[in-house]
Structure 1
Amino acid sequence: MFVVRPRLVLTTNLKFMHTQTISNLLTQLATLEAEKKRLQSLVDSYYRRLHHQLGELLTQIIQLQEQLATRRAGQTRRRSDVEAAHQARACFEQTQHRVQEALAHTPTEPDAVGDETELRKLYRQAVAQAHPDLFFTEPDKQERATAFIAQLNEAYGRKDLMGVRQLAQQLQDGLLFLDETTLHNDPEALQQAVERLTQRKQALETDIQTLRQQEGYVIMSQSPTEQAAHFDRLQKNLQEHLAILAQSLDRP
């Protein structure tokens, strides 16, 4: 009579639980990624509208703030005031860039440079971790690594930042080599994959909560009438603030 040992039953059940958990987590992560993307799009649209409609006012305000900071630095010669003047200048240039971007409705050069830098960084990190030569003693892993690098090279060749991000994330989650053999023979690898995916789920949930609390999301979730009223109030407040700054600059 065949008797199943309790430890074997426990291990089998643990593997089944982990594989089911991984499947559920991947589904949840896809949903959370889509929700984060939706919320970020709303927040981004708020700031594009802000800089498009009120960009001139914002630029004038920050330019006056820079002039005031520069004058103060020249008068006091204190290091803190000089640093404040430099920061005000950087803020002015950043605001100009954002206003130009909003008016053009397309990313301007600094964003393109930033994307290119991230693309190269992610690509190099992924290649360093998953190059087929690293697995010359493990044919199954080498085959998977070869297929992964082919996908990575294709996405990198298209300059598909999102695609490279997804592949790099797959690598970080420990899913690249999680094949049937691993599922049956390495419960520790399963547990580590579950932990990494759970951590990413928690990070996404935190990001989503943060985005929901941002003013941009709150405003853009309102009706068009409420949105228009918000920007009207904001314009009035900015005009009042501009007048106060102009008066301060007129005073010696």
Structure 2
Amino acid sequence: MIGFWATLSLNIPDFTRYARSQKDQMVGQLIGLPTTMVFYSFIGIAVTSATVLIYGKAIWDPVTLLGKFESPIVVAVSMFGLTIATLSTNIAANVVAPANSFANMMPRRISYKMGGYITGIIGILIFPWKLIADPEGYIFRWLIAYSALLGSLAGIMICDYYIIRKTNFDLAELFKVNGKFKGWNTPAWIAFVLSLLPVIPGFMVAVGISEAGYFPQTLVNIYSYAWFVTFGISFLLYWMIMKKEH
């Protein structure tokens, strides 16, 4: 679940920047995100559990489940709703942020619309249907693996904003070619790379590169908590390095 929300937690400024106040975005997220996620998770668990009783096996894929229905009207309406849900979810969660990023890379050549097209093409080229074909691989390899990367980024960003800069951020300097933010943030890169090291053994075991007995079991087990591990380590390392430099 953490891996599922890890991307949007970093990209939420793409939406909250349009809020009129800090209170508006906080209330909006508090009402809109936890409540809907709990409700949708409950529906998913309840329906999948019901398939065990009705069909004798757990069917988690909505498309596969719809194939069990005999009424054309039910199937048509359900597929229409599923299509709308898929489009709206992907546009909001998976297109807005990368489209903005591509547009910001080359604003004179790439518009927001073109950034969306580029995102869509890349989304097709990575074969996402292969990721969800195997639920175990999708959860324990894909979701946990990239949540480790995003956890590290989140730790650095939160530490930098709240601890190092005390929420005082010079936005104008971000857009100056020779401003104080030019170049690379070396402490951030150091914290990012080092924070990933503890979860690499577990990742290697999860994807089958290495045998489980090759690494201490503790290192293999903490991979399941990759987001929390990388977040905490990157946060502390970045704080220690920046504190020493300043």
Using the size of structure 2 for normalisation, the TM-score is 0.23
User: Quick check: which one's helix share is greater?
Assistant: 1
**Which of structures 1 and 2 has the larger relative contact order (alpha carbons within 8 angstroms, sep 6+)?**
1
Q: Scaled by the length of structure 1, what TM-score is found?
A: 0.23
Higher-Rg structure is 1
